[in-house]
Structure 1
Amino acid sequence: MDVSKLLDLVAQHFNDERHLIPMYLHLIASALFPIYTGAYASLSRPSSAAKPVKKKRRASEAADEIDDEDEEVLQKLEGMSPRDAVIYPVVAAVTLAGLYYLITKYGARAINLIFGWYFAVAGVFSVAKLVSDAAVVGISFVFPTYLGWSGKLYRVDGLKRKAVLVQGAVGESATGSSAAVTSVWLKPVYNTIWDVRAAIKQRYTVALRIGNTPDEKTNFTVIHVLATLVGIASSAYANLVAKPWYLTNLQGFAVCYTAFQMLSPTTFTTGSLLLSGLFCYDIWAVFFTPLMVTVAKNLDQPIKLVFPRPEEAVQIPFAPPKRQYSMLGLGDIVLPGIMMALALRFDLYLFYLAKQREKIVQQSDDVSGKESKGTKVENIEKAPYVPVTGYLGDRFWTARLPASARPTKLNASFPKPYFYASMVGYTIGMLTTLVVMSVYQHAQPALLYLVPGVLVSLWGTALARGEVKQMWEFSEAVDSEQVEEGGDTRKEEAGWSLDSAQTWLDMWDGLLKLTGFREGSTEATTRNGDTASEAKPDADGNAGKLEPGKKHIDSKRDDVLFRFTISRYKAEQEGDLSGASDAAKDMAGKRE
């Protein structure tokens, strides 16, 4: 074919499809949005970084003024093994074939009804997570913790209700704060703003106990409650009233965003094996069978993103224009996306790996106890982890200050070559999918183009940077340094321990007592199973204190069959948290 004729055909086709360009841009942006946000939300301290330095708390420090920088959030991702990567495409094919059979034999109405309530539960959790995180980001712009004003850094103090100077003249207040106080007619508004800020930042603790089980605690704020109500409302409206495309997309965004914080291929080799299997599965399901297209068109569930196409005129006189929609399955976002999120965490791992230093320690004695002068031991010294996510509002309000004048957490950043390369590869794959679909006017298996785009970009970047070995050996499997001190690494990796087993047995025992099937025991026990008779008496002869390392018991524990309490969040005060009890550390150092 002549080149000029080919260019004419391309120009003609572009002119015919030009009205679809806004829809295509909408589709690409909607696919990249949950990947970008979910990947950043999945970041936590890598194994190449040391634990962040804990700060001492003041007794006068209120619960709503505790910095998020003191809260180390370790993401607990569900890892995959090579066996899972091989089995997953087979399970997906069998499930797809089963759904196709049920739809063709019994219709889609019953299937949609069953799946509707199933996804309603998942939708509540996912939408609540997405909305709460988005609200926290938005609130950080309205009620920031740090402000930059006239070249100086101020910290907002909720107790004193003013912005206190951090860098500069000590005790100086932010310009405008005192003026607002002196204006009588502005004082009610001023106080209301501070009250709203305090109410939003105030955290509460929910404690639940059944029988002899230890208190199961979790923390929440008003934002979490409101976000949960939004999740319930969206699921109820979608299942009881109607399913507009934007509500379906909201639930789809939320599912993808949450999935990136729950799933991990663990290694790049496992992820590559998984995507390669799904690459073949998607081609088979779309090109060689009617399974994928039939199921996608008949299942009206948040398993896809829906994009309205431009209205098309119909041949019937006075009939309204016909509205059609393009679809993108959530699998085309989540499955390549978990590999891209892994790439971002790998970037963070490499950043702290490069900051590690060898620490030379002089050894005076050998194993036999004799002196061996001149012997040295090399230890790896890791840099303390500084959170790289969050604080968007603080970064915005202090953007004009020099980096030296801002807190370390507001300057935290790291290079992201692998993540950006995967984003480019994914975008190229998505553009290729749309072009081929537009030319051939037939549904396309998106993974046919997305998988090569992501894998080639990632492994090609590693090859160009000479880091193929590091990428091949990288793993997110939990190691002993990431497990709480004193725990069993093997049991933690399996997600099970004797302590958790005892907890569930205690809960079952409490339920039996609650229902009257088992009488309560008169012998008080501790969480680790020690009886009261094993506790040593104190100096006054009172029983109830255990040996060091054993937890205190409650002699009235068996009298409580069920307890549910909500209290204000309390953290360890007056002292370094490193010497606090385990419960205090969990409360003060982690967001449950």
Structure 2
Amino acid sequence: MSLPTLPGDAGIALAFLFEHADTILTQLKLLVITLAVLYVSSHASLRRPPSAAPAKKKWSGLSKDADQHDDEEKPSQMEGLQLSDAILFPVMAAVVLIGLYYLIQYLEDPDILNKILQWYISLASLASLAMLYSHVLQLAISFAFPQYWRSGGVIFHISQSKRRQLIWEEGRKPEDQVVADRPLGPLPFGPSTVRLPVCIENFLWGCRGLLTTRWNLEVRIHGIVDEKASFRLHHVVAVLLSAATVMSYHVWMSSHLTNVIGLALCYSSAQYLSPTCFKTGYSLLGGLFIYDIVMVFYTPYMITVATKLEAPMKITVQTGGRTNILGLGDIVIPCLLVALALRFDLWMHYLGKVEYVPEATPQSGEQDGSNPSREVARSKKYIATRAPYVDVSGRWADWLATVSLIPWKPSPALPAEIAASTFPKPYFYAAMTGYALGMVVTLAMVLIFRHGQPALLYLVPGVVGALCLTAVARGEFRVMMLYNEDGSLDHKCSVVELDDRGKLVKFITAETDEKKGDEKQGDEKKGDEKTAVEKTADKKEVATEEEEEERPEVFLIRISAVGTGKAPRAVKLHGE
């Protein structure tokens, strides 16, 4: 195929693009993949921030829909990296990399080492694959059977427990929602005047219930095992798919399956690992920034290990005869900071909802209550009361089904769980933009110099610089440095200090002594004033326990559906 000639710089640019078309397309694919992984992984890592109070339970017992989100399923904290970990991380990475390099040199043929690493990493990735598949299936189910959807200006709430479509109205309690005058079943689309056959409606409701119901599994062997677990159907399917992926990988050794395993590892890393604060995150990226430069430019270790080993430790993208690779570390390490930035956005969102009550203190030389008619001086100390948390994860299907996608047509009032998912994300978008610019520069340098580049050399300044510039421009750099996820900010009542503009300056104490004393007295009062109903229930529970002791359960397997009202199926063998 001949290239048309154009005069001047346009012709030179077109010739360059035509000559490197496969390379540019390969790099664009790699850029899209990495940005998608960062975006999805960061949103999956969202959990209750310290600036929000635990969610209030609105559903209980059999009144809860099977497909309702469970706010208690995801803890408010994850495994955090301390500053010491950030310092040791580059050192340990260098030790492992150098060890692999000399092991390759010693073996001469890396085939044995490849086999060992392939089996080890693939088996270790089973949990990561199961998590990735589970979330993908859950997202697909939510698109097929959303909890909310909009038709015109009316938002409908699909209730599995009632097997009805209810009209959602702002301020109306779930039990008071009006049943919609629609013959349609659980699907959020279709004609509203055509009645589906009863058998088809029952089948669709059954499918929806099967796919969205949460099940409890209890296994008990007397004196040996006593375990309980909660799962849904897509969790079981995800486990089977993850096992099939690992087996298929060892049979065909496909680069696509290698990428799937690598992406699953990247996805799960953002769920379980995070810097406890931005100071630790910046230190971690700074140390690996130096490590990556040294290992790529000044030693043969990185290039040799990346090209010789065929284990799922990298992402490989091919277009035509061009191949480009990117180490998992170049995705995972920046992703930790990008996900932290998104959780910081959520923390700032709920921090804006905190109610600050000035802490009243008597004037100097005056005792409390000595002169109540005199005004009380107020300092810059405030008692912060948090707003309850609304789970924002997994709401993409409901959001797309309810919002107005036409820019000039405003969306109606949305349910709290959907409206909460649209919180402002300035730091997350800044970090994503910095990462994208860093990747573009990295890929351009590979294309220009035709040599492997240390990706963190360009990614770290892009992500860290974007976050710091955003914080400085918004006047929130001090607040960013105060934020942490070590649990020290997660308290019922905190005393904080604000500046003249209402910005957070520092946390003075986690919880006031007066608050602790009131809670302690309240607990003692509740213990002393136990009602007769509670005493009767306790007696029944003791009697049941005594009966079970007389007839101990030797073997028990129980699978029960949550929120269906049906009796659980159980298998019991009682010993004498």
- Range class of TM-score, shorter chain: 0.7 to 0.9
Distance 1:200 1:161 in 2: 14
Q: Give the superposition deviation at 1:161.
A: 2.3
Higher strand share: 2
Aligned partner of 2:228: which letter? K
RMSD (CA atoms): 3.7
- Which of 470, 473, 489 is residue 482 of structure 2 equivalent to? 473
Partner SS state of residue 289, structure 1: coil
CA distance in 2, matches of 1:74, 1:481: 12
**Matches for 1:253-264 after TM superposition, within 5 Å:** 253-264=263-274
**Residue pair 2:184, 2:196 contacting (<8 A) in 1 also:** no
* Equivalence for 1:399: 403
2:136 and 2:78 mapped to 1: Cα distance? 21
Distance 1:161 1:398 in 2: 20
Counterpart Cα distance in 2 of 1:182 and 1:85: 62
Q: Residues 430 and 467 of structure 2 are in contact (CA less than 8 Å); yes or no, is this contact kept in structure 1? A: yes
1:112 — aligned with what? 114
CA distance in 2, matches of 1:173, 1:476: 44
What's 1:173 paired with? 180
* Cα distance per residue 1:551-571 (max 9 Å; x no partner): x97786799798563421447
Q: Report Cα offsets for 1:120-157 as digits up to 9, x if no partner.
A: 22322111111111111111111111222242222212
The residue aligned with 1:248 is: 258
Aligned to 2:557, what secondary structure does the other structure show?
A: strand
Give the direction of change, closer, same or farther, for the CA distance of 1:184–1:331 in structure 2 (3 Å limit).
Answer: closer
Which residue, 405, 408, 412 being the options, matches 2:416?
408
- 8 Å Cα contact 1:219-1:569 kept in structure 2: no
Task: Name the structure 2 match of 1:282.
Answer: 292
Task: Report the Cα distance in structure 1 between the residues aligned to 2:88 and 2:177, rounded to whole angstroms.
Answer: 63
With over 3 angstroms needed to count, the CA separation of the structure-2 counterparts of 1:171 and 1:387, relative to structure 1, is closer
Which amino acid is 2:341 matched to? A
- Deviation for aligned residue 1:117: 2.1
Distance verdict in 2 for CA 1:562–1:26, change over 3 Å: farther
Taking a change above 3 Å as real, the CA distance of residues 90 and 465 of structure 1, as seen in their structure-2 partners, is same
Equivalent AA in structure 1 for residue 474 of structure 2: R
Q: Is the 8 A contact 2:86 2:280 kept in 1?
A: yes
How big is the shift at 1:352? 1.4
1:102 matched to which residue of 2? 103
Q: Structure 1 residues 42 and 75 mapped into 2: Cα distance closer, same or farther (>3 Å)?
A: farther
Verify the 8 A CA contact 2:65 2:161 in the aligned structure 1.
Answer: no
1:565 is aligned to: 557
Segments of 5+ residues of structure 2 without an aligned counterpart are 1-6, 171-175, 493-534, 566-576
Q: Matched residue of 1:565: which SS?
A: strand
Query: Structure 1 residues 336-345 or 553-562, which shifts more?
Result: 553-562
Asked if 2 retains the 8 angstrom alpha-carbon contact of 1:204 and 1:566, the reply is no
Q: Percent identity?
A: 34
Task: Tell me what 1:222 maps to.
Answer: 233
Q: Distance in 2 between matches of 1:211 and 1:378?
A: 54
3-state SS, counterpart of residue 263 of structure 2:
helix
AA aligned to 1:351 is H
Partner of 1:86: 87
Question: In 2 relative to 1, CA 138–111 (structure 1 residues): closer, same or farther, beyond 3 Å?
Answer: same
Which of 185, 205, 209 pairs up with 1:194? Answer: 205
Runs (5+) with no aligned partner, structure 1: 312-323, 484-537, 547-551, 574-592
What one-letter code is carried by the residue in structure 2 that aligns with 1:137?
L
Deviation at 1:94, TM superposition (A): 0.7
Q: Which moved more, 1:296-305 or 1:252-261?
A: 296-305
The Cα shift of 1:93 comes to 0.6
- Residue in structure 2 matching 1:457, options 466, 470, 476: 466
Q: Deviations over 1:285-317 (max 9, x none)?
A: 111222112211222222111101313xxxxxx
Specify whether residues 431 and 302 from structure 1 end up closer, same or farther in structure 2 by C-alpha distance, changes over 3 A only: same
Give the one of 13, 20, 45 matched to 2:48: 45
- 1:511-590 superposed matches below 5 A: 565-570=557-562
Measure the CA separation in 2 of the matches of 1:156 and 1:541: 38
Q: Residues 442, 560 of structure 1: CA spacing in aligned structure 2 closer, same or farther, 3 A cutoff?
A: farther
**Pairwise CA distance, 1:86:** 1.0
Partners of 1:275 and 1:391 lie apart in 2 by 31
Query: C-alpha separation between the residues in 2 aligned to 1:95 and 1:388?
Result: 39
Q: Which amino acid aligns with 1:336?
A: P
Contact 1:307 1:325 in 2 (8 A): yes
Q: Which segment is superposed worse, 278-287 or 402-411?
A: 402-411
- Code of the residue aligned with 2:180 in structure 1: it is S
Q: TM-score, normalised to structure 2's length?
A: 0.77
* Length-normalised TM-score, structure 1: 0.75
After superposing the two structures, state which structure 1 stretch, 331-340 or 111-120, moved more. 111-120
Between stretches 460-469 and 554-563, larger displacement belongs to 554-563
| Equivalent residues of 1:76, 1:262 under 8 A apart | no
1:304 aligns with 2:314: yes
Distance in 1 (CA, whole Å) between partners of 2:79 and 2:328 is: 18
Provide the secondary structure at the position in 2 that maps to 1:388.
coil
Q: Is the 8 A contact 1:395 1:410 kept in 2?
A: yes
Whole-angstrom distance in 2 between the partners of 1:200 and 1:390: 15
In 1, distance between residues paired with 2:56 and 2:64?
A: 20
* Contact 2:150–2:402 (8 Å) recurs in 1: yes
Q: Which amino acid aligns with 1:481?
A: D
Alpha-carbon distance between aligned partners in 1 of 2:458 and 2:309, rounded to the nearest angstrom = 24
For the residues of structure 2 that align with 1:474 and 1:126, how far apart are their CA atoms?
Answer: 28
Q: Which residue of 2 aligns with 1:379?
A: 383
How far the C-alpha of 1:190 sits from its partner, in A, is 2.0
Change beyond 3 A, Cα 1:370–1:566: same
Q: Which residue of 1 aligns with 2:160?
A: 158
Q: What's the counterpart of residue 526 of structure 1?
A: none
Residue identity in the other structure for 1:177: L
Residue matched to 1:531: none
Question: Aligned pair in 2 of structure 1 residues 102, 238: CA closer, same or farther (>3 Å)?
Answer: same
1:233 counterpart = 2:238? no
- Distance in 1, Cα, partners of 2:385 & 2:196: 57
Matching residue within 310, 330, 333 for 1:335: 333
- Code of the aligned partner of 2:229: T
- Aligned-partner Cα distance in 1 for 2:358–2:542: 43
Which shifted more, 35-44 or 153-162?
A: 153-162
Q: Which moved more, 1:397-406 or 1:218-227?
A: 397-406
2:129 to 127, 143, 149: 127
